Each structure stands twice: as structure tokens, then as C-alpha cells.
Amino acid sequence: MDIRLPAEFAIIARHFKQLAGPGALGLADDAAVLTPPANRQLVISADAMVQGVHFLPDDPPETIGRKLLRVNLSDLAAMGADPLGYLLTVSVPKDTPDAWFAAFAAGLAQDQAHFGISLLGGDTTSTPGPVSLSATVLGHVAPGAALTRAGARAGDFIYVTGTIGDGALGLRARRGDIADPDGFLAGRYRLPQPRLGLALAGIASAAMDISDGLLQDLGHVCRASGLGAEIHAPLVPRSPAACAAGPAWLPLCLTGGDDYELLLAVPPSAEAALLAEARRGQVPMTRIGTFVEDAARFDVLDASGMTMVIPQAGWSHF
Amino acid sequence: MDIRLPAEFAIIARHFKQLAGPGALGLADDAAVLTPPANRQLVISADAMVQGVHFLPDDPPETIGRKLLRVNLSDLAAMGADPLGYLLTVSVPKDTPDAWFAAFAAGLAQDQAHFGISLLGGDTTSTPGPVSLSATVLGHVAPGAALTRAGARAGDFIYVTGTIGDGALGLRARRGDIADPDGFLAGRYRLPQPRLGLALAGIASAAMDISDGLLQDLGHVCRASGLGAEIHAPLVPRSPAACAAGPAWLPLCLTGGDDYELLLAVPPSAEAALLAEARRGQVPMTRIGTFVEDAARFDVLDASGMTMVIPQAGWSHF
């Protein structure tokens, strides 16, 4: 009897095997086997992405795998962890052409090289529905050095990296609601930039990545730390493209999500060290407000110091 | 401004938080943080399951999470690893009722207790398509003791655990093609039994779990080990229910998949130790053939020693 490899394994061999790193056993075994880095804690996060929800049907396959990877890497960045590798599940329609897999894997290869990680394992299946992806990323951190959402203290400054709102505006630009002549906003939606590589242990007292909207995610840090917050909307850094969209889009910038920037709590005494580290890492870093003792307070102030009313704090799937 | 938790986080808090174990940070942070077990290697596997492909729309939500977990645990069993924890992504339609999540989580809680593992993290999203799940399981093994598919040697016996074919017949029974009066076959499809807990290091020279059909998966071990194989179809252990289905279903038993039993290569010198370990673990263990030097040979023999011709070796998604 002749036992040939069926198409599924041919796809894996042709497109995914090149992505496999040490421990992946060539993606040809039941699981990956790896020796954990000595004297480090493991940091692990998993995310799913569904076509029509997290990316658009006409997004190029090169970028959707990269977006998934970057969204996950952003979670590691928020913990102050260094990335190690990832596992991937890919569920696509049966008639998905070989060129789709080639482009999808080429995008991943590019980001693997950029972030110094490799594929450890995963699963490829068919689906009668939209393309559904998931990734689990593994990273590591010095024992006890992981940044959480729970460490902020009253009086800590609220800092964000990069610019806020571009991802949400980018989605609207893709839908034709906003002009985006050079594609900057759409690009920010399609390919977030995880803020890996900043040495924030001993500087930030709490951290998270902004994925569901600045206000909602700030609310998470407040709840985890038992604090309230006051931020100044005019201080929230927006890109030239986001500013050009006009002031009517400010609420969406604050609540839209898909930023994958870091939100940090920083004691005033650590501010100078934060800004030095931001310069070293060439990451824009902006102070937008302060954590306050009163857990019932959550104020977003406008240019005249008046409290803004924003209808929906952030993104929810349900 | 009032920042309330949106529905998504309410679902996580209500149903998934109770499943969170040490390191999961209450599922309220960006990632899990765990100290790897000392002097062990990590073993990691990821699987996806899609409604209509890996489980049926009318499967109870209690069992679909458990099936996903068990399919993944079976991969750890195939590596000889002990399970530690898992991450989960759940993509479901927006109108999924709360009772669905409650039942889904209750099933997981039951299996977590049974297998001694806990939830480390994950993601809950909406989907416009069928329910799509993924899980990544973490386990550990003594350094160098992981069983792979590549270690079989010519002359090693081919062993399988349990009975083969029940899962594939169970799917047919669910479709009404096969009588299944007591629901045994359907139950085997719905809830596989991962063969964890056998101490196979130093006994088996190669191992894998049978998920895509005995013949195809045996082909994988042959390819990885550079060998051929000869098995005797009448020796392949079948349950009373599978036998009752009749001899016409034998080819499906050999190729159908969804078994999640172990396929082992065992040197004749280790056979007594294998059988002693199987007795200790109360796991049925059956010798069905032998690995042979000639990598071009892949023979399935019938009761009269004639080579059987079986049209399709196993399951492929594409």
C-alpha cells in the first residue's frame, strides 16, 4: 500500500516548515519540546483573530498573520517580557489557494526575522466559515519583574507610547468614512507596532497594552489597582493624520481600540528614567494624566478643564 | 465618566475566571506569568476545532471544550509529557446565550479537575461564522525523555492503546449510518480519552497519537523513522460496538481518525516492560505489527496474510 502525504501535510511542509525554530521538531511531531531559559519566568498569551471582525476580507494574507503575531507580541511588551516563539492555528476554507498560504507564511517569515522569534507548532484545519486564526506567544522575563495592571499607585503619571486612535481611524478609512490619502491610518490598522524592547521594570508601576480603546483599557488598570484616573484629552498624542481627520473623531480615538500602544503608570520619581529609556528605545512617550486615590473618579478633561462625556468607553465583542 | 465593564469581560469574569490557575493573574492581565518546573523541558502543542468540522452543531457545549482539551492532552501523552495548563481562544456568534458559556466552562472545569490542570489565559471574540476554538497546552518532561516519531527501529513492534475506529464510527453513528444503541460510539467521538500517565520513556522508541487515522499516522512514524511497516488488520483492537457494526466498516476503523489512542514503537526487549506499565496504568495495549527496514513497504495484511487495498489512508482537511 502506498501512503502518500495528504494535501494538509503538503501545505505544512511547503509553507510553514521554513518558519519552524529550535524545539519545533520540524512541525512534524505531536508537540514542541524546549528547554526554558535559565532563571527566567515564562510569559504566555493567546489571541484569536477572525476575518470580518479583526481584519477585513480584502486585507492581504501577508499582513493578517503579521497582525496576529504583533497583537500577541504587544501583550508580551505590556508585561515587559522578551519574546521566544509562538504557536499558530489556521482555519481556512477548503478551496484556499496555495498562493494564499505562501503569502501568509511570507509575512510571518518577515516578522519572525524582525522580532527574533520562530514558529514552535500549531494546527491547520478547514472551516466552512471565515478565516479564523489563533496564536499563542511565549516570552520570558526576570523572576518577579513582569509588569501587571495591578501595581499603579495614586499620584502615578499616566503615560502612553506612540499615537492613539490611528488603528480605529484606519478601519474607518478602509470603510471610506475618513480620507487617508497616503494610507497611513489604514496601515496602522493593518500592521500594529508592538512596543517590545523597552526596559520598564523598576520604572513603570503598572502596564497594559491598549487594544480595546484607551479609556476602557485605562479603566482596567484603575480597577486592577483600585484607583481612579484623570486624563487630559488634548494631551493624548495623535498622529498628523488623526489630527487632520478633525476634532469630531477625537472620541473614537479615545475609545476605538486597535492601538497596540503601551499604557503605563509611572511614579513621578521614575519619570526621568522613563523618558531616558524612551529616548534610548526611540519610542515616543507622552504623559496624558494621573492616577488618583478616589476609585469612583474617571475624568476625561477637555482643553478648558471641563469633563467630557463620551458615550461608549471601548470595544466589546458582545 | 462611568467606566463599566462591557459584556465581554462580564462573560470572562462569570464563566472563565473560576478556571484560572496559578500564573493566570485571574485572567485579568495581558499574559500569564509562570515559573517553569525545575529541571524539566517544556512540551507545547496547539490545536483548533471548528463547528461542523471537528464537532457537530448539536454537540452539547459541555463536551466541545472538553474534546478540545483532550485532543491537545493526547498530544502531550504522545510525547510522554505531564500536563501543566492551557490557554484557550473561543470565537462564537454575538448572540451566544450566557447558558452556552456556563455549560462550556462547566465541562472544562470537570476535565481540569480530572487531569489536574488549569486555565492560564486566552481570548474570547465574536465571529460571524461557526464556533471556532483553539487551545494551547503546556506540559513538561524530563530533559531528553520526550518521545518523538523519529526513534523507531526496524524490528520494533507496533503497539496501540485502547480500541481503534470508535471515533470515526461514532461520527457515522451520529449521522445515522450505523446503529449505536447505547451511544458508546458517539460518546467516543464526543469525548476522547487521552492516554496520559504512562511512563513510556526508556520503553517506547517512538510514539504519536492517532488523530488522523491509524494508517496515515503510522505512515508519519515510518517517514520520520525512515522505515516501513507491516500490520495485521485482524489484530487491530476494535470495541464490541465497532465489531458489531460489521466487517464492512473495518477500512474506516483503520483510516477514520479521531481515535486519540497512542501508537507506539517498542523494541522486542522492552515488550515485557511495556505490558507491565500498561497493566499498572490499566490501559489496554495491543501489538498489531512490526516496523521493517524497507521504507517502501507499507503492508496491511488480512486474516489470510494477503495485502489489503485501502483507498484513502486518512483524514486531510484539504
Which grid coordinates belong to A132?
479564523
Q: Does A118 contact chain B (CB < 8 Å)?
A: no
Which grid coordinates belong to A156?
502615578
Q: Does A141 contact chain B (CB < 8 Å)?
A: yes
Quote the DSSP letter at residue B307. Answer: B
Q: Tell me how far apart the alpha carbons of residues B96 and A257 are, in angstroms, rounded to a whole number.
A: 23
Per CB-CB distance under 8 Å, the chain A contacts of B195 are none
Predicted pLDDT at B226? 96
pLDDT in single tens digits along all 318 residues of chain A: 666 666 788 888 899 999 998 899 888 888 999 999 999 999 999 999 999 998 888 899 999 999 999 999 999 999 999 999 999 999 999 999 999 999 999 999 999 999 999 999 999 999 999 999 999 999 999 999 999 999 999 999 999 999 999 999 999 999 999 999 999 999 999 999 999 999 999 999 999 999 999 999 999 999 999 999 999 999 999 999 999 999 999 999 999 999 999 999 999 999 999 999 999 999 999 999 999 999 999 999 999 999 998 876 666 667
Which residue among A33, A129, A316 sits closest to B43, beta carbon to beta carbon? A33
CA atoms within 13 A on the CB side of B303: 3
Residues A241, B49 contacting (CB under 8 angstroms)? no
Q: Tell me how far apart the alpha carbons of residues B146 and B140 are, in angstroms, rounded to a whole number.
A: 9
For residue B71, what is the enclosing H or E element?
helix B61-79
Predicted pLDDT at A318? 72
**Record: contact A32-B44, CB cut-off 8 A:** yes
Q: Tell me how far apart the alpha carbons of residues A287 and B91 are, in angstroms, rounded to a whole number.
A: 36
Count CB neighbours of B226 within 10 A. 13
Beta-carbon contacts of B94 under 8 Å, excluding residues fewer than 6 positions away, are A317, A318, B126
Per CB-CB distance under 8 Å, the chain A contacts of B67 are none
User: Range(s) for CATH 3.90.650.10 in chain B?
Assistant: 157-301
Per CB-CB distance under 8 Å, the chain B contacts of A299 are 1
**Record: contact A31-B75, CB cut-off 8 A:** yes
Closest-CA distance, B308 to chain A, in angstroms, reads: 8
Dihedral sign (CA A162, A168, A172, A178): negative
Q: Tell me how far apart the alpha carbons of residues A136 and A123 are, in angstroms, rounded to a whole number.
A: 12
Residues A258, A269 contacting (CB under 8 angstroms)? no
**Record: contact B121-A45, CB cut-off 8 A:** yes
**Record: contact B127-A130, CB cut-off 8 A:** yes
Could you identify the residue written with the cell 508580551?
A: A76
Predicted pLDDT at B99? 94
Interface of A with B in 189-208 (CB under 8 A): 207-208
Predicted pLDDT at A4? 61
**Record: contact A318-B126, CB cut-off 8 A:** yes
Quote the DSSP letter at residue B163. Answer: -
Predicted pLDDT at A237? 98
Query: Chain-centre distance of CA A55, in angstroms?
Result: 14
**Record: contact B125-A50, CB cut-off 8 A:** yes
Amino acid at B53: V
Dihedral sign (CA A8, A70, A208, A163): negative
Per CB-CB distance under 8 Å, the chain A contacts of B260 are none
Q: Which CATH architecture has domain B157-301?
A: Alpha-Beta Complex (3.90)
**A307: β partners:** A301
Could you identify the residue written with the cell 478633525?
A: A246
Residues A87, A136 contacting (CB under 8 angstroms)? yes
Of A260, A23, A204, A41, the closest CA to residue B32 belongs to: A41
Q: Does A148 contact chain B (CB < 8 Å)?
A: yes
Q: Does A30 contact chain B (CB < 8 Å)?
A: yes
Residues B110, B60 contacting (CB under 8 angstroms)? no
Q: Tell me how far apart the alpha carbons of residues A80 and A168 are, in angstroms, rounded to a whole number.
A: 25
Q: Tell me how far apart the alpha carbons of residues B264 and B214 are, in angstroms, rounded to a whole number.
A: 11
Per CB-CB distance under 8 Å, the chain B contacts of A75 are 30-31
ipTM of this complex: 0.92
Dihedral sign (CA B114, B76, B206, B203): negative
Query: Among all residues of chain A, which has the CA nearest to that of B310?
Result: A1
Q: Which CATH architecture has domain A7-141?
A: 2-Layer Sandwich (3.30)
Which grid coordinates belong to A34?
524546549
User: Range(s) for CATH 3.30.1330.10 in chain A?
Assistant: 7-141
Per CB-CB distance under 8 Å, the chain A contacts of B90 are 48
Q: Tell me how far apart the alpha carbons of residues A48 and B131 are, in angstroms, rounded to a whole number.
A: 12
Closest-CA distance, A299 to chain B, in angstroms, reads: 6
Mean pLDDT computed over every residue of chain B: 93
Q: Does A142 contact chain B (CB < 8 Å)?
A: no
Q: Tell me how far apart the alpha carbons of residues A275 and A111 are, in angstroms, rounded to a whole number.
A: 27
Predicted pLDDT at B1? 61
Q: Tell me how far apart the alpha carbons of residues A77 and A59 are, in angstroms, rounded to a whole number.
A: 25
- The stretches in chain B having pLDDT less than 50 are none
Predicted pLDDT at B28? 83
Q: Tell me how far apart the alpha carbons of residues A125 and A187 are, in angstroms, rounded to a whole number.
A: 29
**Record: contact B216-A3, CB cut-off 8 A:** yes
Which grid coordinates belong to A74?
504587544
Predicted pLDDT at A1? 62
Using CA atoms, how far residue A263 sits from A189, A195, A207, A303, B129, in Å, is 18, 11, 6, 21, 33
Residues A297, A229 contacting (CB under 8 angstroms)? yes
Q: Does A154 contact chain B (CB < 8 Å)?
A: no
**Record: contact B216-A125, CB cut-off 8 A:** no
Count CB neighbours of B307 within 10 A. 13
Predicted pLDDT at B202? 95
Q: Tell me how far apart the alpha carbons of residues B74 and B260 are, in angstroms, rounded to a whole number.
A: 6
Interface of B with A in 275-304 (CB under 8 A): 298-300
Which residue among A6, A49, A309 sits closest to B1, beta carbon to beta carbon? A309
Using CA atoms, how far residue B70 sits from A219, B66, B113, B153, B211, in Å, is 36, 6, 13, 29, 11
**Record: contact B41-A30, CB cut-off 8 A:** no
Amino acid at B288: I
**Record: contact B128-A128, CB cut-off 8 A:** no
SS (H, E, C) chain A: CCCCCCHHHHHHHHHHHHHECCCCHHHCCCCEEECCCCCCEEEEEEEEEEECCCECCCCCHHHHHHHHHHHHHHHHHHHCCEEEEEEEEEEECCCCCHHHHHHHHHHHHHHHHHHCCEEEEEEEEECCCCCEEEEEEEEEECCCCCCCCCCCCCCCEEEEECCCCHHHHHHHHHCCCCCCCCCHHHHHHHCCCCCCCCCCCCCCCEEEEECCCHHHHHHHHHHHHCCEEEEEHHHCCCCHHHHHCCHHHHHHHHHCCCCCEEEEEECHHHHHHHHHHHHHHCCCEEEEEEEECCCCCEEEECCCCCECCCCCCCCCCC
